[in-house]
A and B are shown apart, each in its own frame.
Chain A
Amino acid sequence: DVKVTQSSRYLVKRTGEKVFLECVQDMDHENMFWYRQDPGLGLRLIYFSYDVKMKEKGDIPEGYSVSREKKERFSLILESASTNQTSMYLCASESPRGYTFGSGTRLTVV
């Protein structure tokens, strides 16, 4: 079974801090995705990557950047965290059944 691991389940950060969310998959998948999930809005795509060092903006990239230096790792970066970035962040890796998701990181920005 594909495993997608997000490094933190819960994070609390201060406004203005730089935040790194890490995601690792163990199946050599090329496609990886970062979503945020908010009540009533569902999952919205922030960034995705089809290969190492390759990235594409999703629907809501503002305030975020990403890094894919190795195939198995896809990092989401909040350059200067703001309170409106308080959310659940889900990483996913593409598999034959659509996506396999990580367990999510609940980020609170205070």
Chain B
Amino acid sequence: EDKVVQSPLSLVVHEGDTVTLNCSYEVTNFRSLLWYKQEKKAPTFLFMLTSSGIEKKSGRLSSILDKKELFSILNITATQTGDSAIYLCAVEVAGGTSYGKLTFGQGTILTVHP
């Protein structure tokens, strides 16, 4: 059974802090790992990672994948109150009838106080 585990489940920080969110996985036929941010409604796409060791960056957010140790981290530097959200990690598996199917972790609830 495919499994994705995120930690911590919740995190409270102050503006300006740096946070690291973790995602570990055990799946068959790994294809990609994705990070999403969810505020009040639909999750919105942040990153898709397919190769080990290559950092993806978008502003204050960055993410990297380690396919040997089966985990990914999402870093947010200089946090702002607008970063408060649920951060979702998902793994896509390849092949057969599972093509395109994502398995999600539980999510990390990040709260940034002013």
Contact = CB atoms under 8 A, between A and B. Distances in A.
A94 to B, nearest CB: 5
Interface stretch (A35-43, A62-70, A75-83): A35-43
Contacts of B104: 35, 42-44
Contact of B45 (A42, A43, A94, A98): A98
A99 B46 CA distance: 11
User: Chain A, interface size: which category?
Assistant: 20 to 34
A44 B102 CA distance: 9
A59 to B, nearest CB: 8
A101 interface: yes
Contacts, number: 57
A52 to B, nearest CB: 16
Given A42-B107, A98-B48, A48 B9 contact: no
A58 B102 CA distance: 10
Nearest to A95: B45
What is the interface of chain B mostly: helix, strand, loop, or mixed?
Answer: strand
Contact of B43 (A40, A48, A58, A101): A101
Contacts of B45: 97-100
A56 B98 CA distance: 10
A90 B42 contact: yes
B90 A98 contact: yes
Given A101-B42, A101-B43, A103-B42, A94 B100 contact: yes
12 contacts: A35-B104, A40-B9, A42-B4, A42-B105, A43-B107, A45-B102, A45-B103, A97-B48, A99-B34, A100-B45, A104-B41, A104-B42
Interface of B: 4, 6, 9, 32, 34, 36, 41-45, 48, 88, 90, 92, 97, 99-107
Interface of A: 4, 31, 33, 35, 40-45, 48, 50, 56, 58, 90, 94, 97-104
